[in-house]
Structure 1
Amino acid sequence: MSVLVVGMSHRTAPVALLERVSVSGDALTKLLHDVEQNACVAEAMIVSTCNRVEVYAVVDRFHAVVSEVSALLSVHSGVPMEQLAPHLYVHYEDRAVEHLFSVAAGLDSMVIGEGQILGQVRQALRLAQEQGTLGATLNELVQQALRVGKRSHAETGIDRAGASLVGVGLRLAERALGPLQGRRALVVGAGSMSSLSAATLRREGVTDIVVVNRTHERALRLAETVGGRAAEFGELAAELAGADLVISCTGATDVVITAGMVTPRTMFLLDLALPHDVDPAVRRLPGVTLADLESMQNGEIAGVDDGGRAEAVAAVRGIVSEEVAAYLSAERAARVTPTVVALRSKAAGVVEAELGRLVSRVPEIEGRLRDEVAQTVRRVVDKLLHEPTVRVKQLAESPAGDHYAEALRELFNLDPKVPDAVRRVETIDMEVDR
């Protein structure tokens, strides 16, 4: 079984296409189960954010699953395969591990080093766990990816060299409005991105913050955390009229802010939603500046990030390379475990059978003498097996490690899938990893 990634991101697809392919809520859960129901898929997880949609799967067939996952993305999004396929990428085995570690470390983000991706990967992991589509392989891989992401932020300046999309958006707002202190800000939505936006505004010295959300109670809770006030969703147009800076990120499927709701004047709107919350026609209004994921993708963020970016990126790439090598080495070593257990199980069976024959032939061997003979035979077998089993585990860590386990199976006529001992080990490992 190997890890496969099929997906698209801001690096391979325009935001307009990502909007159509992006899934959330019940649609995300449905896609997750549709992937996992494939006969060649043992485990599945989906990372779906404003910048990427990626299906991670543990598979025993490559081409069949790539075709099936691509077809499911097409069906769920309504995007014809001929339009979708050119923007998809596929990573397999070692490349899949490297890709996930790079994503978690922030190297593949629109804004290099942004920390939100860690939470998004963790959310994907939690959903797969809750839906029962996660097993030992993906669980360990994703947990390690999260550790790599944390290490990257702790040991380098990647989070300072880059910034979150919200931080970048506020730098763009300063270009349009000047200093943000004293400005009135309107936050539309009360989810995780909106909460981050409100908190960032507060840290930037913006004290006049209004929160609007369809569920007023959630707007009230968010407003309280930043010392702002909440307004009813029906008051959105009126609140827009008094706002200098607007940040919108809702889960709506249709436009929330139309051009007719915005009064032409000096004003900045940041649309972080996928699909769009703000009608792109707002850009044509005199004095109004609109930044969204598409415009950021097309280059508006150039020159916004802090210094030290190149050095931080190089340091994180080094960490990712190191962690990928360590993970793959440990994973290859783990693959030989069933073979080693099978060998020891077979040897133990031979020992017990021979001891049984000895007792039947020489029945007068009893008590302490019988125990001494049994212990001596077991020690001899253990010593004979110690060196080859240690060596095969060491050799298994190399890229061609599977060949050594295969050779051991051939030499001793082993089938690691058959012995009860192997099945018990695999079951215990699965329970521990979960």
Structure 2
Amino acid sequence: MSILAIGLSHRTAPVALLERVSVSGDALLKLLRDVQRASCVAETMVLSTCNRVEVYAVVDRFHAVVNEVSELLSVHSGVPVEQLAPHLYVHYEDRAVEHLFSAGAGLDSMVVGEGQILGQIRQALKLAQDQGTMGPTLNELVQQALRVGKRSHAETGIDRAGASLVSVGLTLAERVLGPIRDRRALVVGAGSMSALSAATLQRAGVTDIVVVNRTHERAVRLAQTVGGRAAEFGDLTAELAQADLVVSCTGATDLVITADMVTPREMFLLDLALPRDVDPAVRRLPGVTLVDLESMQEGAAEAGADDGGRLEAISEVRGIVADEVRAYLSAERAARVTPTVVALRSKAADVVETELGRLAGRVPEIEGRIRDEVAQTVRRVVDKLLHEPTVRVKQLAESPAGDHYAEALRELFNLDPKVPDAVRRTETIDMEVDR
């Protein structure tokens, strides 16, 4: 079984296409289940954020799964495969591991170094666990990606070099509005991104924060955390007329803020939703500035930290990712050979017990003490003969061609690494091999 990653992101697709492919809520659940039902797929997870949609899967076929997942993304988005395919990237085995680790470390984000991706990966992991599509291989990979992300933020200056989309957006807002601490801010939505937006506004010194959400109770809870107030969703137009700075990030599939809801005046709108919340037509209104994900990348680069510190931090994180990828692949290759080693030891143990049984039948007069000594001697001889080959094959398995050594053992000794006895003896035999 091998690891496959297929998807598209802000690096390969325009925002308009990402909007169409993006999935959330019930649509995300359905895509996850459909991929799991695809042929040759043993485990799967879907990572859908504001700037990427990626499917990770453990598969035993490559081309067939790539075609099926591409078709599913097409069906769920309504985008024909021939239009979608040029924007899709496919990573397999080592490259899939490296891609997820890089994403977890923030290297593949629109704003390099932002830490929000870790929360998004955790959400994708939990959803897959809850839906039963997460198995041991993918679970270990994703857990390791989360550890790589934490290590990158703990050991480097990537946090200082990067920023969240919200922070970058507020930096751009200050260029338009001047200091924002005395401005009235309106947060539309009450999800994780909206909560981050409200908290970032509060840290920036904004004291007049209003939260609007379709579910009023959630708006109330979020507003309370930042000392703001909640307004009914039906009052959105009236609240827009009073706001200087608007941050919108809902899960709506249609526009939430249209041009006829906005009063022409000095005003800054930050649209972090995918699909977008704000009608691009508001840009034509006098005095109104709209920044959305399509224009965010250029703004992120302008608002980033000094190039020297930023590049140094990115370089350090890339080093961490490279080290962690090597360690993961080495351990994973070594683990692959374990069933073969177990099967070899199991077969040898069966042969020993069979021959000792024959000896007891042929020479029943051997007294117990001598019989035990003979048995121990035979077992020690077999253990010593097998110790070096089994340790060596585990070491060799860590190389890129490691699977070939395990395959050679299986052929030479006619082994079946899946036999029940071998599985039951795994723990005991592993201890013997590591002696």
Q: TM-score range by the shorter chain?
A: over 0.9
Q: How does 1:62-77 map to 2 (within 5 A)?
A: 62-77=62-77
Deviations 1:170-189 (A, max 9, x none): 00000110111110000011
The answer to whether structure 1 residue 49 and structure 2 residue 49 are counterparts is yes
Who is 2:118 aligned against?
118
* Offset, 1:302: 2.6
* Offset, 1:419: 4.6
Query: Aligned letter for 1:418?
Result: V
SS of 2:302's equivalent in the other structure is coil
Who is 2:303 aligned against?
304
Who is 2:433 aligned against?
none
**TM-score under structure 1 normalisation?**
0.96
Who is 1:158 aligned against?
158
* Offset, 1:380: 1.2
* Offset, 1:220: 0.7
Q: How does 1:56-205 map to 2 (within 5 A)?
A: 56-205=56-205
Who is 1:329 aligned against?
330
Q: How does 1:233-382 map to 2 (within 5 A)?
A: 233-297=233-297, 299-307=298-306, 308-382=309-383
Q: Conserved in 1, the CA contact under 8 Å of 2:9 and 2:53?
A: yes
SS of 2:170's equivalent in the other structure is helix
Deviations 1:271-325 (A, max 9, x none): 011111111100000110000001113x232320122110010000000000000
SS of 1:27's equivalent in the other structure is helix
* Offset, 1:417: 2.4
* Offset, 1:368: 2.3
Query: Aligned letter for 2:300?
Result: I
Question: How far apart, CA to CA, are the structure 1 residues paired with 2:69 and 2:373?
Answer: 60
Deviations 1:3-41 (A, max 9, x none): 001100000000010000001111111111111112211
Cα 1:216–1:424, aligned 2, differ >3 Å: closer, same or farther? farther
Question: How far apart, CA to CA, are the structure 2 residues paired with 1:55 and 1:302?
Answer: 28
Question: How far apart, CA to CA, are the structure 1 residues paired with 2:54 and 2:425?
Answer: 33
Query: Aligned letter for 1:34?
Result: D
Question: How far apart, CA to CA, are the structure 2 residues paired with 1:260 and 1:303?
Answer: 31
Q: Conserved in 2, the CA contact under 8 Å of 1:417 and 1:423?
A: no
Query: Aligned letter for 2:90?
Result: V
Q: Conserved in 2, the CA contact under 8 Å of 1:345 and 1:419?
A: no
Cα 1:182–1:39, aligned 2, differ >3 Å: closer, same or farther? same
Who is 1:7 aligned against?
7
The answer to whether structure 1 residue 387 and structure 2 residue 391 are counterparts is no
* Offset, 1:423: 6.7
Question: How far apart, CA to CA, are the structure 1 residues paired with 2:49 and 2:415?
Answer: 46
Identity of aligned residues (%): 85
Q: Conserved in 2, the CA contact under 8 Å of 1:6 and 1:90?
A: yes
Question: How far apart, CA to CA, are the structure 2 residues paired with 1:59 and 1:222?
Answer: 41
Query: Aligned letter for 2:257?
Result: I
Query: Aligned letter for 1:333?
Result: A
Cα 1:157–1:10, aligned 2, differ >3 Å: closer, same or farther? same
Q: Report how many residues are paired.
A: 426
* Offset, 1:415: 1.9
Deviations 1:360-386 (A, max 9, x none): 001112422222221111111111111
SS of 2:187's equivalent in the other structure is strand
Question: How far apart, CA to CA, are the structure 2 residues paired with 1:39 and 1:250?
Answer: 34
SS of 2:303's equivalent in the other structure is coil
Cα 1:425–1:38, aligned 2, differ >3 Å: closer, same or farther? farther
**TM-score under structure 2 normalisation?**
0.96
Query: Aligned letter for 1:328?
Result: L
* Offset, 1:403: 1.2
Q: Conserved in 1, the CA contact under 8 Å of 2:342 and 2:423?
A: yes
Cα 1:423–1:76, aligned 2, differ >3 Å: closer, same or farther? farther
**5+ unaligned residues in a row in structure 1: which ranges?**
430-434
Cα 1:425–1:46, aligned 2, differ >3 Å: closer, same or farther? farther
**5+ unaligned residues in a row in structure 2: which ranges?**
431-435
Q: How does 1:12-27 map to 2 (within 5 A)?
A: 12-27=12-27
* Offset, 1:420: 2.8
Question: How far apart, CA to CA, are the structure 1 residues paired with 2:378 and 2:385?
Answer: 11
Deviations 1:61-81 (A, max 9, x none): 100000000000000000011
* Offset, 1:211: 0.6
* Offset, 1:164: 0.2
Deviations 1:308-344 (A, max 9, x none): 1100100000000000001001111111001000000
Q: Conserved in 1, the CA contact under 8 Å of 2:168 and 2:299?
A: no
Question: How far apart, CA to CA, are the structure 1 residues paired with 2:266 and 2:84?
Answer: 39
Deviations 1:211-267 (A, max 9, x none): 111111111111110011111111111111111000001111111111111111110
SS of 1:364's equivalent in the other structure is coil
SS of 1:290's equivalent in the other structure is strand
SS of 2:186's equivalent in the other structure is strand
Query: Aligned letter for 1:118?
Result: L
Question: How far apart, CA to CA, are the structure 1 residues paired with 2:422 and 2:155?
Answer: 42
SS of 1:4's equivalent in the other structure is strand
SS of 2:296's equivalent in the other structure is helix
